[in-house]
Amino acid sequence: MSNKQTFILAAFSAAAISLASCSSDDYNPIYLVEAETQTALEGNQLQISIFNNEGEKYLIRGGKGNYTVSITDKSIADFRYDGDTLTYLPVSAGTTESIIADRSGNSYQLSVNVGNPQSIFTVTGIDATVIGGELTQNQTQALQNEITQNSPVKIGGRFELTYADKELSSGDIKIYPEATGGYSVGIFEQSRKYNENTGAGQVCIEATMAGTSAQTYTFFVTYLQQKTYRFQEDVTNQYKGTYPALEEAYRIYELKVEQ
């Protein structure tokens, strides 16, 4: 065999070995999926309710396998890993870091945030419903416009609820009138109320805002679909003096929940 042929064969063999080596180390990044739904965790932020005694359960995917798990501050969160299911457990409010790694040097860093559960509702639309058999069409239209224009929360504003108990029955509320700027604070209670006529049940949020005026709000909550909700606020008493024929009036907030 000529020197040229020997060189070509050696070069081909080296390339083949190199290709095989790259292939064996070419793994997908490590990531987590929810154990129950098999839904991938987006990003590297994990929120855990401080009341979640069972913890958040995940399966590790990607990498080469043979994973190791560590957590920086076990006074905030701890974990259990049985080789299949990884469970993060809340300990106290705060933020810590967790690292998942395999033996080939692949790793995934996760920020674990433990705190009181929250619901953040951003206003995407405002409407009004008016009922009154003796109201004229012009009065009905005028009242609907007045109710929507006088809304204390505009499109882009939001309601932030921070729950103080495991049952999600009470806590603190922040109301942001606009997308940016200040907010008012208060407390709320959440319960299920039943219609006296139909017997149908509906979640009700009753909020009392801080301050000398002690403004109160009562919202009946309807779940729509895909993280969208509707708050219905009874404003009948606010407008009945101006419109004696008014029977019922509601301000309707269309909402998208962020968490």
Q: Taking the model in full, what pTM does it have?
A: 0.75
Q: Is 159 helix (H, G, I), strand (E, B) or coil?
A: strand
Confidence of residue 259 (pLDDT cuts 50, 70, 90): low
Calculate what percentage of the chain has a pLDDT beyond 70.
87
Domain 27-115: assigned CATH number? 2.60.40.3440
Q: Return residue ranges of the chain for CATH 2.40.128.
A: 118-257
CA distances from 185 to 73, 161, 207, 225, 239 (A): 32, 10, 10, 28, 25
pLDDT at 194: 87
Confidence of residue 30 (pLDDT cuts 50, 70, 90): very high
Q: Return residue ranges of the chain for CATH 2.60.40.3440.
A: 27-115
Confidence of residue 201 (pLDDT cuts 50, 70, 90): confident
Q: With 80 as the cut, is the pLDDT of residue 162 above it?
A: yes
Confidence of residue 197 (pLDDT cuts 50, 70, 90): low
**CB-based burial label for 220 (10 Å; 0-12, 13-18, 19+):** middle
Domain 118-257: assigned CATH number? 2.40.128
Answer whether 208's CB lies under 8 Å from 187's CB.
Answer: yes
Calculate what percentage of the chain has a pLDDT beyond 90.
78
Residue whose tokens read 């922040």: 174
- Identify the bridge partners of residue 22 per DSSP, sorted by sequence position: none
Give the burial string for 38-75 (b: 16+ CB within 10 Å, else e). eeeeeeeebebbbeeeebbebebbbbbeebebebeeee
Confidence of residue 103 (pLDDT cuts 50, 70, 90): confident
Q: With 70 as the cut, is the pLDDT of residue 20 above it?
A: no
Confidence of residue 210 (pLDDT cuts 50, 70, 90): very high
